[in-house]
């Protein structure tokens, strides 16, 4: 569950500006386009800056253990096949997870010449600063992993994702409304029944992909055999629906769903997921926070050093980063 949240962020960072995608200026969606056409063109290709919001709520209805996660990210300078030049991210999680209290918050600010990381709980945060040389070395490490196209290539899951169309997940899509977003953008909203069997098949394909599967494992997602054996059913009248809002350039502005009474392997859950994109290709102000402790102090707390990170194979460093991201979101960075 937490891995899915992190995957959403990674898809955002890699799908925007994807080389194999179509630039937003190349698509002009008709205001009267039918629902299936709207879903067919929906994507994030050609997005180079913007604000993304991701929210996730999972509630075990039998034990009453709800856990929620919220993320707000702003980015700009995202070019084909690269990480953004500037990025700000704020994440919060709270609730109960596996009978353990979760109360965590984290923030990340990345500028061309430095970066800052902070994490902790609502009352106390630790802050660390990554200097110019260290940041350049880490960027180089991620770029090398990308060029190797192996387990450390953050575009691996995206490449598998690009071969999948949202229309495959929707049964009987309909136009719900045409509205104007808070940033003034006009969108077409499509709703339809979510086909769970196809969603599971897609998740299994991702997990079976050697590179993408390694990243999903680092993020805490279950392996392919577990996904294949998962049994999901719904109480009558509680089947999940998908809401998709797309602008005239085919950019997804909203993707959300809610599972009200899903029975997964004998347990009953409520789940809500929401993704929203605003200020697409508009100037985004990314500011650095207050100065923190040296970055090597953070790595020391995690049982390693900056020198060891930079000497490690690129794929190993990237997978360690993904695992650390997932752990921080659960409030357990150790």
Place of tokens 């998740």: 203
Helical residues (DSSP H) of the chain, grouped into ranges: 2-15, 35-41, 132-148, 156-161, 196-208, 210-218, 224-229, 295-301, 306-311, 314-329
HSE-CB at 287 with a 13 A cutoff on CA atoms is 3
Q: What is the pLDDT of residue 33?
A: 87
Q: Write down the pTM of the prediction.
A: 0.79
Mean pLDDT of the region 224-230: 80
The more confident residue out of 27 and 250 is: 250
What pLDDT is attached to residue 7? 40
pLDDT digits (tens, 9 = 90+) for 49-101: 899 999 988 887 777 778 888 889 888 877 655 567 788 888 888 887 667 77
Q: Which residue has the higher pLDDT, 151 or 239?
A: 151
- Round to whole Å and give the CA distance between 256 and 245: 9
> Where is average pLDDT lowest: 10-24, 152-166, 251-265, 306-320?
10-24
C-alpha span between 89 and 106 (Å, rounded): 8
Q: Which two tokens stand for residue 69?
A: 């996660």
With 50 as the cut, is the pLDDT of residue 4 above it? no
Q: Measuring CA to CA, which residue among 307, 253, 220, 161 is closest to residue 2?
A: 220
Q: Domains of the chain: which residue ranges?
A: 2-329
Determine the Cα–Cα distance for residues 241 and 195; give it in Å rounded to an integer. 9
In the structure, what pLDDT confidence band is assigned to residue 237 with cuts at 50, 70 and 90?
low
Instruction: Return the bridge partners of 127, or none.
Output: 118
State pLDDT tens for residues 247-264.
Answer: 999 899 999 988 776 666
Query: What is the reported pLDDT for 17?
Result: 39
Task: Give the mean pLDDT of the chain.
Answer: 78
Higher pLDDT, 246 or 238: 246
3-state secondary structure 251-264: EEEEEEEEEEEEEE
Written as six digits, the tokens of 250 are 């085919």
Q: Which of 102-111, 205-214, 275-284, 320-329 has the lowest mean pLDDT?
A: 320-329
Can you give the pLDDT at residue 22? 43
On the question of pLDDT at 1 being above 60, the answer is: no
CB under 8 Å to 139, separation ≥6 — which residues? 83
Residue keyed to tokens 């808070």: 182
């Amino acid at each position: 569950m937490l891995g899915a949240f992190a995957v959403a962020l990674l898809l955002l960072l890699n799908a925007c500006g994807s080389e194999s995608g179509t630039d937003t200026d190349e698509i002009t969606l008709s205001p009267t386009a039918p629902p299936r056409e709207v879903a067919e063109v929906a994507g994030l290709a050609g997005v180079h800056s913007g604000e993304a919001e991701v929210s996730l709520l999972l509630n075990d209805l039998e034990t009453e253990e709800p856990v929620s996660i919220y993320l707000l990210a702003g980015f700009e300078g995202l070019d084909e096949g690269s990480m953004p030049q500037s990025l700000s991210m704020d994440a919060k999680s709270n609730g109960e997870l596996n009978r353990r209290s979760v109360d965590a918050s984290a923030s990340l600010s990345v500028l061309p010449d430095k970066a800052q990381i902070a994490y902790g709980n609502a009352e106390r945060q630790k802050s660390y600063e990554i200097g110019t040389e260290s940041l350049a070395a880490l960027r180089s490490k991620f770029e090398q992993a990308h060029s190797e196209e192996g387990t450390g290539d953050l575009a691996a899951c995206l490449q598998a994702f690009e071969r999948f169309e949202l229309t495959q997940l929707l049964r009987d899509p309909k136009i719900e409304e045409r509205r104007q977003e808070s940033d003034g953008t006009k969108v077409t909203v499509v709703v339809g029944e979510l086909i769970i069997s196809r969603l599971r098949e897609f998740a299994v394909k991702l997990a079976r992909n050697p590179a993408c599967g390694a990243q999903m494992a680092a993020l805490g997602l279950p392996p392919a055999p577990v996904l294949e054996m998962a049994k999901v059913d719904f109480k009558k009248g509680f089947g999940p629906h998908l809401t998709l809002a797309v602008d005239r350039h085919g950019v997804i502005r909203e993707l959300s769903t809610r599972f009200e009474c899903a029975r997964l392997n004998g347990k009953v859950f409520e789940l809500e997921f929401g993704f929203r994109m605003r200020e697409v290709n508009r100037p985004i102000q990314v500011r650095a926070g207050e100065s923190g402790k040296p970055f090597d102090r953070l790595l020391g707390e995690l049982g390693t050093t900056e020198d060891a990170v930079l000497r490690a194979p690129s794929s190993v460093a990237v997978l360690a980063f993904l695992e650390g991201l997932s752990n921080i979101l659960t409030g357990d960075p150790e």
